[in-house]
Chains A and B, each alone.
Chain A
């Protein structure tokens, strides 16, 4: 069965950095786009970034552009999010989600359990 397991969250000071990981299993990881989506405490869902299946197409929400970098290792079935210059407003649960399979309908059918990032001094 499809599994997505995030790790790497924690407490970090403003201006600090953190790298999130998402381990994928149960499907052909290299066939799918992947996304990071976050949810601040008590707030709605915010799409953060996606990466194409080969890692050559990357897009970011304006709120994180220039500070966050998405990447993937298809050999390791892993997705990453490098987060730099963190701000208090980046505090959220971060989910990885399986995104597009080319030539099919986009949907976030599978999600991880989420990892909490807290930015506070």
Chain B
């Protein structure tokens, strides 16, 4: 099975900060990587698919990059509504999620 490791597990940041979350699969997955945002009590929301394609309606401050075994989600200027938990997910072989990165208010 492909294991997905996100880092950090949590971070504290302020509004306006640039935030970077990393996802590393246990083997190469080409660009079969998606990113989701989840707020408490809600279903996850798709942000980025195929590693770097912004889902329709998602603000352009979210960008995804990477391929193979190293992926990054960047929020260029953190907004109040961005405080949430973020998950990466691979679809190269079956489906696996990372353990999540909680973005909290500093």
Residues in A lying within 8 Å of B, measured CB to CB: 35, 37, 44-47, 50, 59, 61-62, 95, 99-100, 105-109, 111-114
Contacts A62-B1, A107-B34, A108-B34 known; A50 to B95 CB distance under 8 Å? yes
Count residues of B near A (Cβ-Cβ below 8 Å).
23
Is B7 an interface position by the 8 A CB rule?
no
Q: How far is the CB of B4 from chain A (nearest CB, A)?
A: 10
> Do A108 and B96 have beta carbons less than 8 Å apart?
no
A57 to B87, alpha carbons, bound, how many Å? 26
Is B46 an interface position by the 8 A CB rule?
yes
A105 to B49, alpha carbons, bound, how many Å? 8
> Do A50 and B94 have beta carbons less than 8 Å apart?
yes
Instruction: Please give me the 7 A-B residue pairs with the lowest Cβ-Cβ distance, nearest first.
Output: A111-B43, A106-B91, A47-B95, A107-B49, A45-B97, A44-B100, A105-B50
> Do A47 and B87 have beta carbons less than 8 Å apart?
no
> Do A112 and B97 have beta carbons less than 8 Å apart?
no
Across-interface contacts of B38 in A (CB, < 8 A): 45
> Do B53 and A46 have beta carbons less than 8 Å apart?
no
Is B65 an interface position by the 8 A CB rule?
no
- Nearest opposing residue in chain A for B48, CB measure: A107
A61 to B96, alpha carbons, bound, how many Å? 9
A1 to B87, alpha carbons, bound, how many Å? 25
Across-interface contacts of A113 in B (CB, < 8 A): 43
A35 to B91, alpha carbons, bound, how many Å? 12
> Do A112 and B53 have beta carbons less than 8 Å apart?
no
Q: How far is the CB of A92 from chain B (nearest CB, A)?
A: 13
Contacts A44-B87, A45-B87, A62-B1 known; A107 to B97 CB distance under 8 Å? no
- Nearest opposing residue in chain B for A47, CB measure: B95
